[in-house]
Structure 1
Amino acid sequence: MDLLTGMNNAVACIEENLEGNDICRKAARAACCSEYHFSRMFSAIAGVTLSEYIRRRRLTLAAFELQRSDTRILDIALKYGYDSADAFARAFYKLHGINPSEARGAGTQLKAYPKLSFHITITGADEMEYRLEDIDFEVRIVGKSNLVSTRQALEQVPALWQEAAQNGLLEQLVAMAWEHPKCRMEGLLGVCGKEASIKDDTFDYFTATRYDGEVPEGMNELILPPHLWAVFPDTVQAWGRIYTDWLPSSGYMLADLPCIECYYAPDSGRRDELWVPVVKGKE
């Protein structure tokens, strides 16, 4: 499935489930993507977070319903995911600038946020650095595996690195990291699970490095097969632009392997990089 098809499938799924639960997980499944990666991808492409888009769509439909029906405000609040009329009223006021009861008055001005639809557009001429790395041998990654919630990954992953710095793991990984360099996937590695298409509530996150020695006690190993990688400097910027700029025009698709953030030694002269597993798209 190509990127645009997946994103439009996800938006259709969101629309079908605005009155239900687990909407983020269902949308990620519709896009054939992990919830963790889907939330990043959605924010990068849409320019708004997934949770904020869902909130706006729900409050848009709630406003329509208030205007065209006499359904109780509490019933509408519960229908669109709010636990109480008060919580609904606060959210409604924040978006529309009026209370729900006022929305029923004639001539009331409200805001409507339409359903998103994704298309390929030319957005500018900003260059985007990348290179392709064809690693023709197995890569052995060793590190500490931690169970991460897909919904809280953006908060939990930085906390794992902070914990590693405090408990000595980071120092141990650094000592392992630059022994016998074998390929350019060196340094400290942040590996999201074992497959890019994580669809469960949790996944294993590796704080790790490439290493060929004996696996230290308390660590795990992950073997990556020979594969083609697209490599981008500046991981923060790359996470967004691979979805909006590079993938739609490159002829490549994401492969079923984890994306890996590579953090290099301060004196290496290299910028941190995002390694993205890719395969050629269908003609």
Structure 2
Amino acid sequence: MQYRIVERNAFQVIGINREFPYDVENGGLQEYQNFWTEIHENGTVDQLNDLKEGATKGLLGIWAEVNKEENRMDYYVAAEYNGNVPHGLKKIDFPAAKWVIFEIQGPFPSAIATMWERIYSEWFPSSGYVPSSIKPFEVYLDTDATNPNTYNEIWVAIK
């Protein structure tokens, strides 16, 4: 498992969000695909790609609010950006923190799902760290589903 630990000052991201079922196995996955198709078609992905700046080089996938009991979660597609929030987008502020950045190589998106499992079942139990309350996120650098060796990242704030 390849990872690095970095300290970051506070930063902000901007993006668009949608609420989804927490249980993605029962219809939620199709809703995610529909959301991504919609924001590709309406130009939001292009807008976020044009605005992104900072240490996170790709678009971000952020689960901002998760409620397992009510089977819902709020998911953002966002980009790191410092400035005024453009119309139609929302801002999330991240405080200064220590982050562990997991490097993911493999087929998209299954390699990301596998890495999430390994982070919580292998890395945290053996690392001496615990996740902070700051929302983790995925960094999408290569989402070509035909490429068996994409590179993406998962960022988790730690303490």
Note whether the superposition's TM-score is higher than 0.5: yes
Partner of 1:129 in structure 2?
A: 2
Partner of 2:158 in structure 1?
A: 278
Partner of 1:176 in structure 2?
A: 51
Greater fraction helix: 1
**After the TM superposition, which residues 229-244 of structure 1 pair with which residues of structure 2 at under 5 Å, given as runs?**
229-234=99-104, 235-244=112-121
Return the TM-score normalized by structure 2.
0.78
Q: Please state if 1:146 is matched with 2:23.
A: no
SS of 1:256 mapped into structure 2: coil
Task: Quote how far apart the aligned CAs of 1:155 are.
Answer: 4.1
Unaligned runs of 5+ in 1: 1-127
Partner of 2:146 in structure 1?
A: none
Return the TM-score normalized by structure 1.
0.46
CA distance in structure 1 between the aligned counterparts of 2:67 and 2:131, rounded to whole angstroms: 13
CA distance in structure 2 between the aligned counterparts of 1:254 and 1:220, rounded to whole angstroms: 25
What is the aligned-residue RMSD (CA, Å)? 2.2
Q: Please state if 1:191 is matched with 2:62.
A: yes
SS of 2:83 mapped into structure 1: coil
Task: Quote how far apart the aligned CAs of 1:218 are.
Answer: 0.9
Partner of 2:147 in structure 1?
A: none
Aligned length: 142
Name the amino acid aligned to 2:4. Answer: R
Q: Tell me the alpha carbon deviations over residues 69-117 of structure 1, each in whole angstroms, 9 at most, x when there is no partner.
A: xxxxxxxxxxxxxxxxxxxxxxxxxxxxxxxxxxxxxxxxxxxxxxxxx
Are residues 230 and 188 of structure 1, via their aligned partners in 2, closer, same or farther at CA, if it must alter by over 3 Å?
same
CA distance in structure 2 between the aligned counterparts of 1:157 and 1:132, rounded to whole angstroms: 30
CA distance in structure 1 between the aligned counterparts of 2:97 and 2:31, rounded to whole angstroms: 29
CA distance in structure 2 between the aligned counterparts of 1:278 and 1:158, rounded to whole angstroms: 30
- Counterpart of 1:160 (choices 29, 35, 38) is 35
Name the amino acid aligned to 2:23. Answer: R
Are residues 146 and 225 of structure 1, via their aligned partners in 2, closer, same or farther at CA, if it must alter by over 3 Å?
same
Partner of 2:86 in structure 1?
A: 216
Are residues 157 and 276 of structure 1, via their aligned partners in 2, closer, same or farther at CA, if it must alter by over 3 Å?
farther
Name the amino acid aligned to 1:277. Answer: A
Are residues 253 and 131 of structure 1, via their aligned partners in 2, closer, same or farther at CA, if it must alter by over 3 Å?
same
> Is the CA contact (8 Å cut-off) linking 2:4 and 2:101 kept in structure 1?
yes
Are residues 265 and 199 of structure 1, via their aligned partners in 2, closer, same or farther at CA, if it must alter by over 3 Å?
closer
Higher relative CO (CA 8 A, sep ≥ 6), structure 1 or 2? 2
CA distance in structure 1 between the aligned counterparts of 2:56 and 2:67, rounded to whole angstroms: 22
CA distance in structure 1 between the aligned counterparts of 2:3 and 2:32, rounded to whole angstroms: 25
Q: Please state if 1:249 is matched with 2:126.
A: yes
